[in-house]
Structure 1
Amino acid sequence: MAVSGFEGFEKRLELHFSGDDPIRVSNLGLRLLEFESVDDVLHAVQCTVVSAVGNRYFDAYVLSESSLFVYPTKIIIKTCGTTQLLKSIRPLLYYANLMGFYLSDCKYTRGSFIFPQSQPFPHTSFEDEVFYIENCLPSRLSHRKASFMPSKKSSSQSHAWHVFTASDDHHHHGHPLSSMDSLSPASSSYTVEVCMTELDRTTAQKFFRRPGDRKSGDAAGREMTENTGIRGINPNAFICDFAFDPCGYSMNGMHGEKYSTVHVTPEEGYSYASFECVGSLAHDRDDFVEVLKKVVQVFRPGNMSVAISCALTAGDDVWTRVINGLEPLGLKCRSCAVDDFPAAGTILFQTFTSRRK
């Protein structure tokens, strides 16, 4: 086996929970999970917390390998490298059940690994991942779907999108949660997941620590946030950032009940950056296109994919708005795919390459 570099592409897991105690659900809910329990979950995944912040809506953790977000009834965890993300499911369900919560939705997404041969089980293939997830889930989550986007006939294999969703009958027919806590088609919320490779070399160099730099990871992270333009992507967000040694960067942004997150692996030959955010089509319908443009201007990637999870309304042309926003920046749309998932709404997936290639 050839020696591999660091795997930047993240695996992302989103779990939604319901509870019979409305007071517990509407207040802190899963945020009452003790840190020892969080640490136990992360130990199974093989990563640790390096920084953490919270506001009135949720808690955000920067991990040694990406991010964790905990809302009262929702948990999002994304990890990179050779972490075993799916091994978090069983302990998360165990601790949630002890608190009186039960799983109502599960969503797993990831891109195509740069070094797939280096991934440990259960991330050895998408089929293995789906098999593993299905064996972890309670049987009542009967609405299940696995999808590979675009189809395997596409030439854009480096930026394919793997999706698995599952939901129970109750949630499948929709029940009210807060806008950021809902995956139901009735919700106007969206999630944008961006994966970028072949970063601009000058930009990538800004994510290396200077030799002999004695700054803390937090201080170096703040410097990178300012020097790279990341601060300007969402200037209203409170940012918790961290710079790794000798290179690499992570940040979580908090803006009310919305989160955003950036992760960068800058090494030459396998450079990678990701950006993710949530929002509401009802309140900031066009904001995500402006945000995507800022992300492209920061990283200037050679390859890029954009996955948007939302509840589409008739005649909505989200994919056209993304193309119209990015093509003037020198990116050419190479593929578009769309698929519908039970209780998770619609996922639009587009791939782009730089015209400089």
Structure 2
Amino acid sequence: MSNDDQPPANGPFEGPEKLLEIWFAPSAADCPDAPAPGTPGPDGGKFGLRKVSRAVWEEMLDIVKCKILSVVEGMEMDAYLLSESSFFVSPHRLILKTCGTTLNLLGVPRILQIAREHADFPSVYRLFYSRKAFMFPERQHGPHRDWRAEIEFLDNLFPNGAAYTVGKVNGDHWLLYLTAPSDNSFGGSSNGSTAPSSPQVPPHDIAAETEADASEVRADSPVDEPPVSVDEDNIASDYTIEILMTHLSPQGRAPFFSKDPPAETHDTSGADALALSSEIGINNIFPSHITTLDAYSFYPCGYSCNALLKWRPDAGENPARSGEGYYTIHVTPEEGWSYASFECNVPLPTKPTDKSTSVPDLKTLIRRVVDIFRPGKITLTLFISCEDNDATEEEEGESAVETAQRAFKSALTHSSRRNGGEGAASSAGLYKRTDKINYEFGGYDLAFASFELRSPSSP
């Protein structure tokens, strides 16, 4: 059922989100009250920013102009589903992602105050703010009406920021503002070098570890078998993939329109959204045994979900060893301004394993997400940290971003060799690449690419 011919009275809705990520320390282990590995922390295991109460966050979100719908508490982070997107809180970091006409940046001063008063963080370690170009910039408020105004707002708060426009200024592009690490704490320096945030399993080891976690314990293995050792010279300390999609197909949009008026409680919307997630394949993006999904269906249309992903079996046991990540999806399905976004911070393998219990490789994940929505245009970004931009981690002779670019192209422009690909209606091979850009920042590399559907006459 589609309500495309009944647009909301308030006009178009701005789907593309404002994404704010603030780090107050390089890792959870650097929090002033971080517990020793293997020991329970205070307040039921919560420390750092996770000690902040929901009521305090709600007061901050009132400034931003959005509300908390529900929350999932994980081993290492809390995932808040909002009336306009998502909010993730880790001990040392928070991620605020909001859509519509929310005032994301206006919440920053209050966030800084909360961090000082409740978590003993006197300053910011690093800050990132990014967004896709707005569809309707004239509908925004405050500093969000103009990129230059957003830059000026952030420059007034942070003396070491830098702003970038990535992609076509008169087409699909992505805007980024980031600060260099603070040079007065945590060993940061003004040249932009970034200490690893948390030792993590290299991407090629992740699939094997999650597979082992899903299988039964071997008879010759003790139940408390120690975690797999980590190669400290091969660390992916921060990894974020975004898939931003517009011009969704009719088949991709239709499931996100509500058939019935909402019930009196949020419970029905949540239950309906979880059923929809299973029906259209969102539940299958990552293995179910590592996924805790929270979802919400809006009336008359729209959908949001957060998922916490326990991609290491020892997640939560060592503040210096991250093992839990997230993904989040948000959908605005109206025909004139349809949009869907997917974001995930689990470092993905570069090679497929063909095992349903494994974390998907990057190419497989892209196909699974794109096959749900069948967009006309796609923007992909992979933001990955490295110890030194002159010594980028390499995979078979390729830099991490070049490996990602190859996966982007293979996922969308090459037909699958497997029978039916990811499904009988796989979108593999339907797209052409329209932009490819690699950036090197202080301590971070970025792979940016845009794709659009091939016309019937295209080769």
Query: Whole-Å Cα distance in 2 between the matches of residues 82 and 24 of structure 1?
Result: 39
What residue is the counterpart of 1:232 in the other structure? 284
What residue is the counterpart of 2:12 in the other structure? 5
Query: Whole-Å Cα distance in 1 between the matches of residues 261 and 148 of structure 2?
Result: 45
- Conservation of the 8 A alpha-carbon contact between 1:145 and 1:341: no
Aligned partner of residue 30 in structure 1, secondary structure: helix
Code of the residue aligned with 2:435 in structure 1: it is S
Tell me which of 319, 333, 340 is aligned to 1:266: 333
Please list, as runs of the form range in 1=range in 2, the aligned pairs for 1:1-357 lying within 5 A after superposition: 4-18=11-25, 21=32, 23=34, 27=41, 28-98=47-117, 99-101=119-121, 102-137=123-158, 139=159, 142=160, 144-152=161-169, 157=171, 159-167=172-180, 168-169=182-183, 170-171=187-188, 172-179=192-199, 187-212=236-261, 214=263, 216-236=268-288, 237-256=291-310, 257-280=324-347, 284-286=349-351, 287-310=361-384, 311=386, 312-314=392-394, 315-316=398-399, 317=402, 318-328=404-414, 329=428, 330-343=430-443, 345-356=444-455
Shift of 1:4: 4.1
Q: Give the % identical residues.
A: 31
Code of the residue aligned with 1:243 in structure 2: it is S
Code of the residue aligned with 2:308 in structure 1: it is M
Aligned partner of residue 438 in structure 2, secondary structure: strand
RMSD: 2.1
Structure 1 length as normaliser, TM-score?
0.89
Shift of 1:226: 1.5
Aligned partner of residue 125 in structure 2, secondary structure: strand
Measured at CA, do residues 96 and 221 of structure 1 come closer, stay the same or move farther in structure 2, by a change above 3 Å?
A: same
Query: Whole-Å Cα distance in 2 between the matches of residues 69 and 25 of structure 1?
Result: 23
Deviations 1:2-32 (A, max 9, x none): x740000000000001366253698521100
Code of the residue aligned with 1:260 in structure 2: it is Y
- Conservation of the 8 A alpha-carbon contact between 1:145 and 1:342: no
- Conservation of the 8 A alpha-carbon contact between 1:198 and 1:270: yes
> Which of 35-44 and 77-86 deviates more?
35-44
What residue is the counterpart of 2:228 in the other structure? none
Aligned partner of residue 162 in structure 1, secondary structure: strand
Query: Whole-Å Cα distance in 1 between the matches of residues 243 and 199 of structure 2?
Result: 21
Query: Whole-Å Cα distance in 2 between the matches of residues 258 and 227 of structure 1?
Result: 24
- Conservation of the 8 A alpha-carbon contact between 1:25 and 1:72: no
Code of the residue aligned with 1:206 in structure 2: it is P
- Conservation of the 8 A alpha-carbon contact between 1:4 and 1:118: no
Instruction: State the structure with more CA Rg.
Output: 2
Query: Whole-Å Cα distance in 2 between the matches of residues 335 and 177 of structure 1?
Result: 31
> Which of 13-22 and 111-120 deviates more?
13-22
Measured at CA, do residues 231 and 224 of structure 1 come closer, stay the same or move farther in structure 2, by a change above 3 Å?
A: same
Aligned partner of residue 203 in structure 1, secondary structure: helix
Which structure has the highest strand share of the two? 1
What residue is the counterpart of 2:424 in the other structure? none
Aligned partner of residue 256 in structure 2, secondary structure: coil
Query: Whole-Å Cα distance in 2 between the matches of residues 25 and 86 of structure 1?
Result: 34
> Which of 38-47 and 218-227 deviates more?
218-227
Aligned partner of residue 436 in structure 2, secondary structure: strand
Shift of 1:151: 5.0
- Conservation of the 8 A alpha-carbon contact between 1:174 and 1:186: no
- Conservation of the 8 A alpha-carbon contact between 1:303 and 1:353: yes
Deviations 1:70-113 (A, max 9, x none): 01101001000000101111111001011211310000110011
Alignment gaps of 5+ in structure 1: none
Shift of 1:219: 1.1
Query: Whole-Å Cα distance in 1 between the matches of residues 329 and 124 of structure 2?
Result: 27
